[in-house]
Amino acid sequence: MTYHILYNPLSANGSGEEKAKSLSSVYTDTVYHDVTKIDDYAAFFAALPADEPLVLCGGDGTLNCFINNIEGIEPDREILYFASGTGNDFLHDLPDQSGETPFPVNEYIKDLPTVTVKGKTYRFLNNVGFGIDGYCCEVGDELRKSSDKPVNYTSIAIKGLLFHYKPTNAKITVDGKAYSFKKVWLAPTMKGRFYGGGMMATPEQDRKNPDGTLSVMLFHGKGRLQTLIAFPSIFKGEHVKKTKMVTVLTGKDIKVEFDSPAAVQVDGETVLGVTEYTATARVKATV
């Protein structure tokens, strides 16, 4: 059987093709396709025999591009995923998957939530981040333009918390009910539990819940030093115990409004100069 390997040469700090080609030791018959050169996925799928599976190689950003490029297209074959990015938050959210070999993802790329930002709607697999996480993606994008060295997002976040990032006030509307928060440092809406390369933002969120409910997590109300001291607890999901500075709200329609523009990241893809976004759950289709 022929396996069609889709890879992103830009993933994993430019080593995406090399990592993808390691699959030649897993499958005896492989054909490689650069995803940055596929313009029409409907035509691409139609040109392949239906019994030949696809293996998508890359990180969370590659997954995000894929799910948005196939919007409106029902894949007619098995889609497998080989996590070869730097953050791999989607993989972290699946405790039964080691990531050592490709695994099927058809069930995970259906009925995905959407986010509307600056008049454009995207599907997302993991999260929509607003606040210092969007700032980190913005700074990381700028650093990649001038250097081929790996971007240290933790370092960017710490420097942002200490010096550069300015928190905003926010209005959060969840299923029609409005909430107000001051000094908001983070306001991600989560489909899964993880984002930002291993931060467990919403430890109780279940990406497989049948009603598709999303969770928005607010890190808010405190100054730079207190926020910086508490920040490391997010990697184990223990920040949610700090109820005076962390709030988690759950619903199907979530609108986040900031009182000054900031960067948003959608599964790691950056959108600049944003003052609001709306995330909407999609209920799983029933047979």
Dihedral sign for Cα 105, 103, 194, 162, please: negative
Per DSSP, the residues of 32-61 read EEEGGG---HHHHHHTS-TTS-EEEEE-HH
The full DSSP string for 179-198 is EEEEEEEE--EESSSEETTT
Say if CB 11 and CB 62 are below 8 A apart. Answer: yes
- CA 214 to chain centroid: 13
Q: What is the pLDDT of residue 147?
A: 81
Q: How far apart are CA 49 and CA 104, in angstroms?
A: 18
Could you give the percent of the chain with pLDDT greater than 70?
Answer: 98
Q: What is the rounded radius of gyration, in angstroms, for the C-alpha atoms of the chain? A: 19
How many whole angstroms from its chain centre is CA 158? 21
* Lowest mean pLDDT, pick from 7-11, 61-65, 144-148, 259-263: 144-148
- Token pair, residue 62, equals 């590659």
CB proximity list for 20: less than 8 A, separation 6 or greater: 5, 7, 32, 57, 82, 84
| pLDDT tens by residue, 128-143 | 999 998 898 888 888 8
pTM comes to 0.91
Per residue in 69-111, pLDDT tens?
999 888 888 999 999 887 889 999 998 888 888 999 999 999 9
Read off the pLDDT band of 284 (50, 70, 90): low
Neighbours of 120 (CB within 10 A): 9
Average pLDDT over every residue of 55-75: 91
Task: Measure Cα distances from 187 to 98, 103, 154, 168 in Å.
Answer: 29, 31, 17, 10
What integer pLDDT is reported at residue 100 of this predicted model?
84
Under CATH, what is the fold of the domain 3-108? Answer: Rossmann fold (3.40.50)
Class of the CATH-defined domain 114-280: mainly beta
Domain ranges of the chain: 3-108, 114-280
Cβ–Cβ under 8 Å, residues 215 and 189: yes
Residue 287 confidence (pLDDT): 43
Output the pLDDT for position 6: 96
